[in-house]
A and B are shown apart, each in its own frame.
Chain A
């Protein structure tokens, strides 16, 4: 038909998106990976190969910070997987119950924290948990648990877990919505067939619905993984770029920010920052590949 003519309109349609995307996303991504192979000596850029990565992984000062941030990041992710996603699934299971009244109201209300910015969420919880203001201790007092109160954000052993739970509070709406959508798409006939076989209530959830929503749980897991491994805002807002107390809440995002942008007395080093970005890229890539090739392809999808 038109094979001999160059179809310019295709190029015109593609050009703006491809240009912006390539120039502002793909090119900087690879340029950052390239910058990780350089260092600055006397204000000139010198190629040093993998030296920056060697420093990052093995130099005592750097590696201690790096492994600390990485370990904290995994803990941050683990809490999301163990708390956020089960709560999200449970809420979705309740909401999807047929003939539940006010379901839309609950759904909209529970989603509100997700639309708030980290600045609001971080400061709001900082104020509420503050021993100065006393909302958290007096509420614990009301249910007779005052002895449990501690200035959680100020204690090394609790701060990271507390922030992870704040983040869970904020984002629980996302798994809830996606699972809710998945549950709604299960045809009524399947559930009725189960009922005829005597599977109702909770066992219908475990034996019929859960296996059917596993693919959605997989998607939520990978979204959580990617989101957590480039998280930054919440920690920065509530604990500052030094991720205190004593770096106990430092994750890869704050570590990279401090390194490449500089903070207080520390001078910015774009090349070490790029090396950290390279490490984050590798981690996210590994996670995405495990999901795409290890989980998604093996997951049994049921024809509904």
Chain B
């Protein structure tokens, strides 16, 4: 390294800029969380103060627990996200294997067809999706959401996974064939374990948009028993606008699961993005 790159003044300026932006990024989250633990009076009197013995209060959380069915919402979100992810990964990997492993007529065309959905948002087709879900009686069921998110996630999953599957050595697969393994066994036993890192990347990419989506829960499954956490907190906050304790607590409770997931998966996510899987 030469000296020009390590000017201490420069380094200080760089840290200054990054710290400033980090504060901007975290400040709103911080303010919401600390105020959710305070009494109404101190929320307004000293919004930036940390809760202390005098101002500490859980009244907001009590309201949320009493009035909103957040455990049900959380459970719905969890079911929808996990099942959709499982389908995206399984179906996506199977299709990616077919596209990357076999030469057949229309292979390229099929690849292009499946890739269309990477750029075209599924929301454009909402009117017909709603009509279809009404006709099949799936409206206000979690299945409606699971199907939509599976379809939404598949194009990118197939694209990323087939890139990775092309790198799996042919010798390995052919050795399996010589040993008399069926194509299905080769896929499930030999190839899938080798592309596990790519599967993790796909899962992390899909997880956040599915968990956070408001549009489809609002349109396809707005019933009380199928509300997701995102929709549930939106409706709850809309009803309790004037109850600041409840609103701040509901927001904090919505932030918490995402933050926990982020802490667990952030390495995977950042590695996924920076490994250039989406190019």
CB pair B234 A119 closer than 8 Å: yes
- Say which residue of A16, A90, A230 sits within 8 Å of B91 (CB atoms): A16
CB pair B120 A284 closer than 8 Å: yes
CA distance A29 to B98 in the complex (A): 25
User: Within the complex, what minimum Cβ distance (angstroms) separates A190 from chain B?
Assistant: 15
CB pair A99 B6 closer than 8 Å: yes
Residues of A close to B95: CB separation below 8 A: 13-14, 16-18
Type the 1/0 row for A17-55, where 1 means its CB is closer than 8 Å to any CB of B: 110110111111101100100000000000000000000
Residues of A close to B11: CB separation below 8 A: 100
Type the 1/0 row for B96-140, where 1 means its CB is closer than 8 Å to any CB of A: 011100101000001001101101111111111111100000000
Task: Indicate if A200 sits at the interface (CB-CB under 8 A).
Answer: yes
CA distance A180 to B19 in the complex (A): 17
CB pair A21 B114 closer than 8 Å: yes
Task: Indicate if A181 sits at the interface (CB-CB under 8 A).
Answer: yes
CA distance A33 to B178 in the complex (A): 50
Q: Given contacts A21-B114, A120-B251, is CB(A115)–CB(B258) below 8 Å? A: yes
- Say which residue of B47, B258, B273 sits within 8 Å of A117 (CB atoms): B258
- Say which residue of A98, A110, A124 sits within 8 Å of B5 (CB atoms): A98
Interface size class of B (residues with CB under 8 A): 35 or more
CA distance A256 to B128 in the complex (A): 13
| Interface set, chain B 261-276, CB cutoff 8 A to A | 261-262, 266, 269-270, 273-276
User: Within the complex, what minimum Cβ distance (angstroms) separates A231 from chain B?
Assistant: 10
Residues of B close to A181: CB separation below 8 A: 273-276
User: Within the complex, what minimum Cβ distance (angstroms) separates A16 from chain B?
Assistant: 4
Q: Given contacts A95-B18, A219-B279, A226-B119, is CB(A123)–CB(B125) below 8 Å? A: no
Q: Given contacts A17-B94, A112-B25, A237-B234, is CB(A31)–CB(B158) below 8 Å? A: no
Complex: chain A residue closest to B6, CB-CB: A99
Task: Indicate if A106 sits at the interface (CB-CB under 8 A).
Answer: yes
Task: Indicate if B147 sits at the interface (CB-CB under 8 A).
Answer: yes
CA distance A26 to B125 in the complex (A): 8
Residues of B close to A125: CB separation below 8 A: 28
CB pair A127 B274 closer than 8 Å: no
| Interface set, chain B 9-48, CB cutoff 8 A to A | 10-11, 14-15, 17-19, 21-22, 24-26, 28-29, 31-32, 43-44, 47-48
User: Within the complex, what minimum Cβ distance (angstroms) separates B211 from chain A?
Assistant: 7
CA distance A12 to B123 in the complex (A): 28
The listed residue with most A CB atoms (<10 A of its CB), out of B125, B132, B158, B237, is B125
User: Within the complex, what minimum Cβ distance (angstroms) separates A304 from chain B?
Assistant: 12
The listed residue with most B CB atoms (<10 A of its CB), out of A24, A109, A226, A273, is A24
CB pair A28 B262 closer than 8 Å: no
CB pair B17 A94 closer than 8 Å: yes
CB pair A20 B25 closer than 8 Å: no
User: Within the complex, what minimum Cβ distance (angstroms) separates A212 from chain B?
Assistant: 14
Task: Indicate if A201 sits at the interface (CB-CB under 8 A).
Answer: yes
CB pair A31 B125 closer than 8 Å: yes
Task: Indicate if A7 sits at the interface (CB-CB under 8 A).
Answer: yes
The stretch of B51-59, B64-72, B148-156, B193-201 that contacts the partner chain: B148-156
Residues of A close to B152: CB separation below 8 A: 25
Task: Indicate if B74 sits at the interface (CB-CB under 8 A).
Answer: no
Residues of B close to A201: CB separation below 8 A: 4-5, 10
User: Within the complex, what minimum Cβ distance (angstroms) separates B17 from chain A?
Assistant: 6
CB pair B128 A35 closer than 8 Å: yes
Q: Given contacts A116-B29, A200-B5, A270-B131, is CB(A18)–CB(B114) below 8 Å? A: yes
Task: Indicate if B254 sits at the interface (CB-CB under 8 A).
Answer: yes
- Say which residue of B90, B124, B218 sits within 8 Å of A32 (CB atoms): B124
CA distance A125 to B25 in the complex (A): 12
Q: Given contacts A7-B104, A177-B270, A177-B274, is CB(A109)–CB(B154) below 8 Å? A: no
Task: Indicate if A77 sits at the interface (CB-CB under 8 A).
Answer: no
Residues of B close to A294: CB separation below 8 A: none
CB pair A32 B127 closer than 8 Å: yes
Interface residues of B (CB under 8 A from A): 1-2, 4-6, 10-11, 14-15, 17-19, 21-22, 24-26, 28-29, 31-32, 43-44, 47-48, 87, 90-92, 94-95, 97-99, 102, 104, 110, 113-114, 116-117, 119-132, 147-148, 150-152, 154-155, 158, 182-184, 187, 208, 211-215, 218-219, 230, 233-234, 237, 244, 247-248, 251, 254-255, 258-259, 261-262, 266, 269-270, 273-276, 278-279
Interface residues of A (CB under 8 A from B): 7, 9-10, 12-14, 16-18, 20-21, 23-29, 31-32, 35, 87, 90-91, 94-95, 97-102, 106-121, 123-125, 127-128, 133-135, 138, 169, 172, 177-178, 180-181, 184-185, 195, 200-201, 219, 222, 226, 230, 232-233, 236-237, 253, 256-257, 260-261, 270, 273-274, 277, 280-281, 284-285, 288
Beyond A17-B154, A94-B17, 5 additional pairs, beta carbon < 8 A? A13-B94, A115-B258, A115-B262, A195-B2, A281-B120
- 13 residue pairs of the A-B complex, CB under 8 angstroms, read A20-B91, A28-B126, A29-B120, A100-B11, A101-B15, A111-B266, A117-B211, A125-B28, A134-B44, A134-B47, A180-B274, A200-B4, A226-B121
